[in-house]
Structure 1
Amino acid sequence: MTAEQRRNLHAFRDYVRKILDPTYILSYMTPWFRDDVVQHIQAEKNNKGPMEAASLFLQVLLELQEEGWFRGFLDALQQAGYSGLYEAIESWDFQKIEKLEEYRLLLKRLQPEFKTTINPEDILPEISGCLINQECEEIIQISSNKGLMAGAEKMVECLLRSDKENWPKTLKLALEKEESKFSELWMVEKGAENVQMKDLEDDEMKTLDVHIVYKEEPENQNRSQNSCSSSEVPPTYSPLKPRNYQLELALPAQKGKNTIICAPTGCGKTFVSLLICEHHLKRFPQGRKGKVVLFAVQVPLYEQQKSVFSEYFERFGYKVSGISGATADSISAEQIVENNDIIILTPQILVNSLKDGTIPSLSIFTLMIFDECHNTNKHHPYNMIMFHYLDQKLGGSSDSLPQVIGLTASVGVGDAKNTAEATEYICKLCASLDTSVVATVRDNLEELEEVVYKPQKFFRKVESRTTDRFKHIISQLMAETEALAKSIFEELGTVTLENLSQIQNRHFGTQKYEQWIIAVQKACIVFQMPDKEEESRICKALFLYTSHLRKYNDALIINEDARMKDALNYLKNFFKNVRAAGFDAIEQDLTQRFEEKLLELEGISMDPSNENAKLKDLCFILQEEYHLNPETRTILFVKTRALVDALKNWIEENPKLSFLKPGILTGRGRTNQTMGMTLPAQKCALDAFRTNRDSKILIATSVADEGIDIAQCNLVILYEYVGNVIKMIQTRGRGRARGSKCFLLTSNADVIEKEKLNICKEKMMNESISRLQGWNEAVFKEKIRQIQIQEKLIRDNQGKVKPVVDKKNKKLLCGKCKTFACYTADIRVVEECHFTVVRDAFRECFVTKLHPRPKKFGSFEKKAKIFCARKDCLHDWGIHVKYKTFEIPVIKIESFVVEDVATGAQTLYAKWKDFNFEKIPFDAAEMSPWAQES
């Protein structure tokens, strides 16, 4: 038993408490547990339940000093049947167990219905594999002694503690086999997302627009680091000791100048912001106080900064608090700002507060700090805040304005092609932030270079497979599927599949093909025919064909970067889910076509001669670097989460590389196929990589928006991974150790050229910054002022052009089957941004299913999802909510097609703001009695 294992078990104890009934494994633990301890744990279960018993069990377990108890504990779990928990603790990876949480919540809500409708004796044989043997015996015994309802209640209790990743699906199949009505309530939807959306009705998957922003902290600062465990003893505080280059970066801001601080990843910009903030607050005379606001672009970064600032400033009597999107509903922004000296915010909170007047002006603050300030452009919340600032500045207001500080590792150059254009781009960023100084390290470069090492950069061009039978077969299947889709239009004569999209020269297995699929699906939504039944049939068929084409395209992309085996498993899982989820005639045909090729595909995927050349080269790099330096620490960056999993499996299954014991780090959002890591899971993954010397490589996607600190390493590998100059600088900044290396490995020469272009742009950026730093300050300020005046003029003119409201009554049709839903005259606007339908007949147009993640948003309580009532459609229309005393549907416009009643013309809108119809405010007097809460 190592200290690391003990610490990890303590860190993940909550997972264990929710699953383990310790009385089932006590008989295996007798070499380490005294009889009186065993009796105490058994009594704890009888008196307080299994969770409290598990807490006591873990407390005793973690205090053991005898040899072999940890291995004994794992063996006990395996012997008792806790295979999921055993696997999670063995690998310290609880993702599979974490995925079960949403199903546990759903089952808890459905428990009353479950115990009154389910005969546990009927379905127990089907789900027994998801339970412990003793649990099955207890369910049978309770059903016999206390009745079926008590047995069903016990079954729910056992399922809630199940560690088997397939129990939700197994339960679904068992319910369907028994033709139980409860199966309609038990929704097992793969990839249900768990992210907070901007709009209440916006419940669909969103593509994350990722900006690569790695939040770094200096290694040798006297502050505590992130840890998996919240109960570790906090370190003794000692004053921060700034380095000379950090004092240099802070100096212009400490002189009161609005400043952008541009310094490399790993140098400690957060530390610099602490110095600036402390100096700012102390400069106020007695009787006056400063008020600082610091913005963090995402919730995890907000939490990190709030912790850092609280730890430092509360020691000096300053009040620190904050609000993020996760806490905004329960906290008053006005109160937080009024009652604290330092406020940490996610920027949208302030945007909303300025808009509704809760915070009347930015003059309430004396200092604003924008972390990752290069985001201050277009419609980013940072820019929205600065619009208020600049309107106040240029409007001649006598109210004082706060000092502005921006922090970034790279200001970027946009699309600049030369130094003059790059200089102009940086000037516009300075104008947006009203800064006249760009602070970089110039006088203390040697000291900076001792802290932040610039890794050597290597480019490796690898040839793709010379022959790719897997790609050939999948491409054939795609061509057949396209042909089936085209055949739908043959009898129409006037419309072809190609007519539905402007994207030409598309190739299978590319992002461009994905874009073509999206374009075809959008065109299909507004496709019209006189025969509406035929129109609906064609649209539904086309959606099925394109969804299969998308999966084939995904598989080709995986095949390009990983093993054929991984791509094939991706498709097998997809068709397994298709078979389980409905299976109409078209899906049966497509599945049969795939299965006819499956045996050949499996043979190809297992053929060693089909190994991916990129993986061979990656293996060579890793072997070479670890031969030269066995203590090498590596971060391997890849594009997608699917590739993270594929490369982890490849390394673990490769006898030459399995010693690396890879860890993984992915973003928090979810996609259709994969579930994101929670913030605690991310922190634990990083902590394990930092402290566990056995884990020598971390495979990561871009976790930039999460603002996670990444430990020091000496080898960075970019595996088909490239972006803009900001991404390049910050990704390269992960390699902080002396003598570090950075490899770009790709089969695409264009990728190497793009990375070389980024290097040129980085040089151009540095030259432009040096050029600006040489300008006369008065000249620079005047340049900034002229840009601000011009930009304000454009904004003001845009604000004057109001869209013409279309007062014509229009139809809303289901975007999938074209069934009539309602008229625009039936729609009412609730609290300015949510849209409901007041027509009584509308409730017959949709069906509801309990929402897997009910939640309160202000005056709203999200309770259910609504779907098109047609059984062969069930298109997602939005959600059902409780609003004050009313039960109302809230619809999302992207789920519908808008049809002009007079002309029949159809239009698709992505957002309500794009649809300029006459918006009538919600009026409670219009509501029918059925909408009143019962």
Structure 2
Amino acid sequence: MQEDKDVELYEYQKELAKEGCDGANVIILAPTNSGKTYVASRIIQIHLRRQKAQKKLARVVFLVENEALAFQQGKVFAEQLAAYRTKVFTGSVQSVKGQFLRDHLAELDILVATAQILVNDLTSGKIQSLNEFSLIVFDECHHSYNDHVFNAILRNYLDMKLNSKDDAEDLPQIVGMTASLGVSGSTDDEKGINHMKRIMANMDARFLCTVRTHDNLESLKKHMSSPIEELVAVKPRENDVFKEKVLDAAIEIEKHVNKHVAKKRRTLTDSQKATFKVPVNIIGTEQFSQWISDFVQSIAEVDASLGRILNPCREHLEAYSKSLLLHRDARTKDALHVLETFIDEFNIVPPLEEMDSTLVNIYEEMTITYQVNEDGSENPKLVRMGQILNEILVFNANARGIIFVKTRELADALVKWINESDKLKVLNANIFVGQSVGSSRGGMTKCRQRDALECFKGGLHRVIIATSVAEEGLDIHKCNLVIRYEHVTNEIARLQSRGRARAEHSRYFVISEEVSGILEKEKKNQRCEELMNTLVPRLQEYLENSANSWDSERRHMQLQMKKELECKVEERRLNVIDEMEFKCLNCGSFICSSRNIKCIKRAHHIIIDPEAYKRLNLQRDTPYFTEPEDIAYGGRLFCAEISCQKWLGSVCTYNDIDFPLINLKAFKVVNSNGVGKKFKRWKNVPCEIDAFTPEDLNNLTEDRLAKQIENP
């Protein structure tokens, strides 16, 4: 065992750590790059020393949102707290190494884990209680709001506290860390204070710890950098031929929608009639994407014959809109690629329905009449961004830059644009996106993320195009340039992305079209950030000068939140339907009953009805994801209706048995009255889906063996 050396901190970091080291529940609020992880290391060290000296439970769990953060923070603790036993637990650690959080509690001092891992073990009962830990640290604790995974853990904690009869002496200490609590997008003082109080109540925090003494503030400033900010408004394209051609195609689809809706007009509600009016004038905007969501919901409600016509129309309109969104921010060739990819997938099944053939003809007519070389207009936003990249990065081999965008598709398009540009290709751009989808759908594996950051640090890639996954927490090399490109969210993201511009004399740009509203939103975020900075001292004064009042108010808020949650649970219980039918959204074919759907690992929904195989086509493939206990996910699932054959999900292999793994987005769910509805999330489906049990597996295995004996 190595010597337990004190974690060394700057004086301002010691100020941040004080109340946490004293054992209080706290939120540590400090700027990006101020060393909050080192502050947490010191709190953890003091806590473990104190608990061990008093011969009490000494076990810390440090919770993060994603895998990359888990390994990064785990490395810091292994270095700073070498005298203690530290291990990282994530989904991949469990699936690849078969190492589970619950199995290592007794032998470890510090467990760094993605929050969902702990939620799963608490839900399954494999970890009985949060009392298994003496300290819980939440990284980026501003997320502990609404339905975030952090709150699932904190609700468990608050239940223990509120149900306790003895002042909850055995509860673990809670520490949260963040660069900004935010004000929930409000510029109103009272709403901003209430937002911060709610997060503190969720965390059961007694103190809000910031750097406040004059000398420490001066020291903190020396370790921070404030980039020069600039908002860049750019005029849209002139003579946009591509947009005109896409609009022509959308208008043709609109005519067919109107014709078929008119035939069924008497059977439709006023709401459905209104929704089925295609707003062609806003195609290629976020508003159109919202209309698509409403449109598909109405498709789920109407009869199968009309749905079979409208759903492919919806798919094509959505593809045209996505291409225009990309065209707005990238090159025309990138937008065309979106359409080409979509139509290739659509044509995998030869069009057997008249509407399918009509839609393909509309696309072909558009591409025949439009040639890329006819549209000589460059994207003015790319021209301006190219000038900025050229000015700040191209001629400085040591300079680095990050461009934040909204979608993976745009990130990929900008990487290609830079690397195909004669002036910019020296930057050798790379992408940095999340792991939430497989690499085949644009996501990145843990290894690819790590390699991307290492190559960025080493200079192989001098600019990375990133989605929001790179905004917070990750230790990214000092940047000379940060650009938010047609994408701003809230005051917290603004603060964190600016924090990436750590190099001296760094620059921060927001680039957007003049009419998009993005720049106005950024200005509002700036006002929200300034408001938070004003409100924090006021809140601290209340917490410290009215400690008893805060204790009472905090408990009252916690009781109110508990009551609200119980009401939601009861409302769902009262609205639960015994049985519902799951039908193909595209053609309306019956696939299975809700009684024949089971849930594996509290996340994956499989069909266990052998008869359903007659209504489905399963294509096996190399698994894209594996888990312990003989579970693998891979392959593709299709509707067996010959004129449909739409993708419905993938394949789950469990104990050498293949099960259809359904994707909820591809289904409509129909009640006993024949009313269909589309759901985005399983938790909103109003029927109970039971867990897949060993008994279910045994029954299915026995049934298969019996059939093999009957039909050798």
- With the shorter chain as reference, the TM-score category is 0.7 to 0.9
Of 178, 196, 206 in structure 2, the residue corresponding to residue 408 of structure 1 is 178
Q: Within 2, Cα distance between the matches of 1:380 and 1:599?
A: 48
Q: Tell me which residue corresponds to 2:86.
A: 320
Conservation of the 8 A alpha-carbon contact between 1:489 and 1:495? no
For residue 368 of structure 1, the aligned residue among 127, 133, 136 is 136
CA distance in 2, matches of 1:373, 1:801: 29
Identity of counterpart residues, as a percentage? 30
Map 1:473-488 → 2, pairs under 5 A: 473-488=245-260
Q: Does 1:815 align with 2:567?
A: no
* SS of aligned partner of 1:283: helix
Question: Which residue does 1:642 correspond to in 2?
Answer: 409
State the shift of 1:721 in Å.
2.0
| Alignment partner, residue 427 of structure 1 | 197
Contact map agreement 2:620 2:651 (CA 8 A) in 1: no
1:677 has 2:444 as partner:
yes
In structure 2, the residue matched to 1:154 is: none
Counterpart pick for 1:386 among 154, 169, 180: 154
Matching of residues 198-237 of structure 1 within 5 Å = none
User: Are 1:718 and 2:477 an aligned pair?
Assistant: no
Match of 1:736 among 498, 502, 509: 502
Deviation by residue 1:381-406 (Cα, 9 ceiling, x = unmatched): 21121112222222234451111110
Query: What amino acid is aligned across from residue 931 of structure 1 in structure 2?
Result: R
CA contact (8 A) 2:431 2:465 kept: yes
Counterpart position of 2:299? 524
Query: Is the 8 Å Cα contact of residues 886 and 932 (structure 1) preserved in structure 2?
Result: no
- Once the two structures are TM-superposed, the CA of residue 490 in structure 1 deviates from its matched residue by 3.5
Given the two structures, how large is their TM-score scaled by the length of structure 1? 0.67
- Cα-to-partner distance string for 1:701-759 (whole Å, 9 max, x where unaligned): 22248853211122222221211011000001111122222111111452111111111
Q: In structure 2, what is the equivalent of residue 555 of structure 1?
A: 323
Q: Which SS does the other structure have where 2:266 is aligned?
A: coil
Looking at structure 2, the residues matched to 930 and 505 of structure 1 have their Cα atoms a distance apart, in angstroms, of 53
Structure 2 SS opposite 1:617: helix
Matched AA of 2:237? R
- CA distance 1:672–1:357, change in 2 (3 Å): closer
**2:105 counterpart residue number:** 337
The alpha-carbon deviation at position 668 of structure 1 amounts to 2.8
Distance 1:659 1:840 in 2: 57
How far 1:409 sits from its partner (Å)?
1.1
Q: Which amino acid aligns with 1:305?
A: Q
Q: Distance in 2 between matches of 1:402 and 1:930?
A: 48
Shift of 1:432: 0.5
> Secondary structure of the residue that 2:574 maps to in structure 1?
coil
Contact 1:266 1:733 in 2 (8 A): yes
Instruction: For 1:695 and 1:598, locate their aligned partners in 2 and report how far apart those are by CA, in whole Å.
Output: 36
Partner residue of 1:465?
A: 237
Using the TM superposition, give the Cα deviation of residue 484 of structure 1 relative to its aligned residue in structure 2, in angstroms.
Answer: 2.3
Label 1:281 to 1:512 Cα distance change in 2 as closer, same or farther (>3 A). Answer: same
Alpha-carbon deviations, 1:17-58, whole Å to 9, x = none? xxxxxxxxxxxxxxxxxxxxxxxxxxxxxxxxxxxxxxxxxx
Matches within 5 A, 1:495-574: 498-500=273-275, 507-528=282-303, 535-536=304-305, 538-574=306-342
Q: How many pairs were matched up?
A: 685
Give the conservation status (yes or no) of the 8 Å contact 2:392–2:399.
Answer: yes
Q: Is the 8 A contact 1:293 1:344 kept in 2?
A: yes
> What are the equivalent positions in structure 2 for 1:76-91 lying under 5 Å apart?
none
Change in Cα spacing, 1:591 to 1:663, as seen in structure 2 (3 Å) is same
Paired with 2:504 and 2:46, the residues of 1 have a C-alpha distance of 33
Tell me which of 700, 704, 711 is aligned to 1:931. Answer: 704
Asked if the contact 2:394–2:426 (Cα under 8 Å) also holds between the matched residues in 1, the reply is no
1:108-187 alignment, distance < 5 Å: none
Decide whether the 8 Å contact of 1:712 with 1:737 is kept in 2: yes
1:120 — aligned with what?
Answer: none
Give 3-state SS (helix, strand or coil) of 1:412's partner: coil
Task: Look up the match of 2:363.
Answer: 594
Q: Distance in 1 between matches of 2:233 and 2:120?
A: 48
Cα distance in 2 for residues equivalent to 1:862 and 1:657: 40
Q: Take 1:808 and 1:454, find their aligned partners in 2: how far apart are those partners?
A: 58
Is the contact between residue 439 and residue 445 of structure 2 (CA under 8 Å) also seen in structure 1?
Answer: no
The answer as to whether partners of 2:228 and 2:508 remain within 8 angstroms in 1 is: yes
Are the counterparts in 1 of residues 649 and 662 from structure 2 also a CA contact under 8 Å? yes
Q: Confirm or deny that 1:855 pairs with 2:626.
A: yes
Read off the aligned partner of 2:487 and give its amino acid letter: Y
Q: Give the direction of change, closer, same or farther, for the CA distance of 1:734–1:913 in structure 2 (3 Å limit).
A: closer
Distance between the aligned counterparts of 1:242 and 1:699, measured in 2? Answer: 33
Moved more, 720-729 or 515-524: 515-524
* CA pair 481-920 structure 1, distance change in 2 beyond 3 A: closer
SS in 2 for 1:509: coil
Separation (CA, whole Å) in 1 of partners of 2:204 and 2:266: 57
Tell whether the 8 Å contact from 1:374 to 1:412 is kept in structure 2 after alignment: yes
Shift, 1:639, TM fit? 2.4
The correspondence for 2:551, drawn from 765, 781, 786, is: 781
Question: Judging changes above 3 Å, is the alpha-carbon distance between structure 1 residues 492 and 366 closer, same or farther for their aligned structure 2 residues?
Answer: closer
CA contact (8 A) 2:279 2:288 kept: no
Counterpart in the other structure of 1:146: none
Secondary structure of the residue aligned to 1:294 is strand
Sort the Cα spacing of 1:289 and 1:389 in 2 relative to 1 into closer, same or farther, 3 A.
Answer: closer
Match of 2:225 in 1: 453
Q: How far apart in 1 are the matches of 2:251 and 2:267?
A: 19
Judged with a 3 Å threshold, the aligned counterparts in structure 2 of structure 1 residues 516 and 250 are, in CA distance, closer, same or farther, namely same
Give, in whole Å, the separation in 2 of the partners of 1:660 and 1:586. Answer: 46
Conserved? CA contact 2:284–2:322, under 8 Å: yes
Q: 1:518 to 1:625 in 2, by over 3 A?
A: same
**Offset at residue 241 of structure 1 (A):** 3.6
Separation in 2 of the partners of 1:415 and 1:674?
32
**Aligned-partner SS, 1:326:** helix
Residue pair 2:185, 2:490 contacting (<8 A) in 1 also = no
Equivalent AA in structure 2 for residue 643 of structure 1: L
Cα 1:673–1:480, aligned 2, differ >3 Å: closer, same or farther?
A: farther
CA distance in 2, matches of 1:558, 1:290: 52
RMSD: 3.4
Q: Judge conservation of contact 2:240–2:375 (CA < 8 Å) in 1.
A: no
Instruction: Tell me the amino acid that sits aligned with residue 479 of structure 2.
Output: C
Q: Identify the range of structure 1 (254-263 vs 488-497) with the bigger mean alpha-carbon deviation.
A: 488-497
1:770 aligned residue (514, 520, 537): 537
| 2:282 partner SS | coil
Q: CA deviation at 1:929?
A: 5.4
Q: Which position in structure 2 is the counterpart of 1:417?
A: 187
Equivalent in the alignment of 1:272: 39
3-state DSSP class of the match of 1:261? strand
CA pair 884-759 structure 1, distance change in 2 beyond 3 A: same
Letter aligned with residue 419 of structure 1: D
User: Offset of 1:681 from its aligned partner?
Assistant: 2.0
Task: Report the Cα distance in structure 2 between the residues aligned to 1:336 and 1:476, rounded to whole angstroms.
Answer: 62
- Write the distance in 2 (CA, Å) between the matches of 1:654 and 1:863: 37
Which shifted more, 917-926 or 322-331?
917-926
SS of 1:368's equivalent?
strand
Asked whether the equivalents of residues 866 and 889 of structure 1 are also in contact (C-alpha less than 8 Å), the reply is: yes
Give the drift of 1:785: 2.4
The change in CA–CA distance for 1:252 and 1:517 in structure 2 (over 3 A counts) is: same
Map of 1:437 onto structure 2? 207
1 CA distance for matches of 2:578 and 2:158? 39
Residues 325 and 739 (structure 1 numbering): CA distance in 2 closer, same or farther, change over 3 Å?
same
Q: Given residue 279 of structure 1, which amino acid in structure 2 is its aligned partner?
A: I
1:485-520 residue CA offsets vs partner (Å, 9 max, x unmatched) = 322234334368854459968601111212222322
Contact 1:301–1:706, Cα closer than 8 Å, also in 2: no
Q: Tell me: CA distance 1:362–1:673, structure 2 relative to 1, closer, same or farther (3 Å).
A: closer
Larger radius of gyration, structure 1 or 2?
Answer: 1
Q: For residue 263 of structure 2, what is the aligned residue in structure 1? A: 491
Q: Which residue of 2 aligns with 1:869?
A: 640
The secondary structure found in structure 2 opposite 1:742 is strand
How far did 1:840 drift?
5.5
Once the two structures are TM-superposed, the CA of residue 309 in structure 1 deviates from its matched residue by 1.9
Query: Shift in Å at residue 256 of structure 1?
Result: 1.6
The one-letter code of the counterpart of 2:260 is I
